[in-house]
Amino acid sequence: MTLRRVHLPRERFRLDAGRATLTPEARHYLRDVLRLAPGTEVEVFDGRGGAWTARIDEAFEALVLGPARAGKGDATAEIWLLAALAKGEKMDLVVQKATELGAAAVAPFAAERSVVRLEPDKGEERARRWRRIAEEAARQCGRADVPDVHAPAPLAVALAALPPGALAIAFQPGGAPVLALPAAAAGAYAAVVGPEGGLTDAELAVLAAAGARRASLGPRVLRAETAAIVAVALLQARFGDLQVPAAGPVP
């Protein structure tokens, strides 16, 4: 039986007591949206890779933790997405699908040709919305972790936040095929996708200074949000848990 899933922040867990205190949002979701009864078994995850079978207590205040469970969607490679800011729902879609594809982090950046411009306070407000979208997407797709969603920043700042040893890959016309990309010693990769107007020469110079490689998205012209999703999928297929086995006879 597939259990209903709910996310709680790590600080809500008391593993020594075998309990996790419900947030008001989680209580509303379990009791009022799903209409579950006390004693119902669910799966709770902490957004950092931990997941447990649990049951709702009689007071609907906490979950009584049972055995730990493995997150079904945790990626083998650490793949970041650095995507140029896009309008409204387009960025929502990018965050949602990158989460479903196992991205470790999403870092929107203010590209020179981006149509969207956000002041710092507005950018942080938008990032809070994207984090909620990532949390919901992780709940639905079976991840035990939730990707870190950054507030919008300049490209150089987003690159500086990458894990040490990460290989940045700029998806740009004329780039190499993804299969020709080298593996990063650190096992961390960053897909860098510009706006529909493309990355500027100055931005490409920033990427080159950071040691980025160029890769191709193929012969078709894609919308920026489509390109961002495809880029994550390609890196997962090349380095992560979407790897396709060698061709063989169809069973």
Phi-psi region of 14 (alpha: psi -120 to 50; beta: other; left: phi over 0): beta
Q: Which amino acid is at 123?
A: G
Separation between Cα atoms, residue 76 and residue 235, nearest integer Å? 11
* Domains annotated on the chain, with CATH: 5-69 (2.40.240.20), 78-239 (3.40.1280.10)
Distances (CA, A) of 1 to 41, 42, 143, 182: 11, 11, 17, 41
Look up residue 178 and give its two tokens: 């993804």
- Give one DSSP letter per residue of 143-198, joined into a string: -SB--EEPPPB-HHHHHHTSPTT-EEEEEEEEEEPGGGPPPPTTSEEEEEE--TT-
pLDDT per residue, tens digit, the chain (251 aa), is 688 999 998 999 999 899 999 999 999 999 999 999 999 999 999 888 889 999 999 999 999 999 888 655 445 789 999 999 988 789 999 999 999 999 999 999 999 888 777 777 788 899 999 999 999 999 998 888 999 999 999 999 999 999 999 999 999 988 999 988 988 888 899 999 999 889 999 999 999 999 999 999 988 889 999 999 999 999 999 998 876 555 444 44
Q: Burial code of 21-60, b = ≥16 C-beta within 10 A, e = fewer?
A: bbeeebbebbbeeeebeeeeebbbbbbeebbbbbbbeeee
Given a contact cutoff of 8 angstroms between Cβ atoms, the answer to whether 161 and 107 are in contact is: yes
| Locus of tokens 């919308």 | 223
User: Which residue from 208, 207, 171, 165 is spatially nearest to 188, judged by alpha carbons?
Assistant: 165
Q: What is the pTM of this model?
A: 0.83
Structural contact between residues 138 and 5, judged by C-beta atoms closer than 8 angstroms:
no
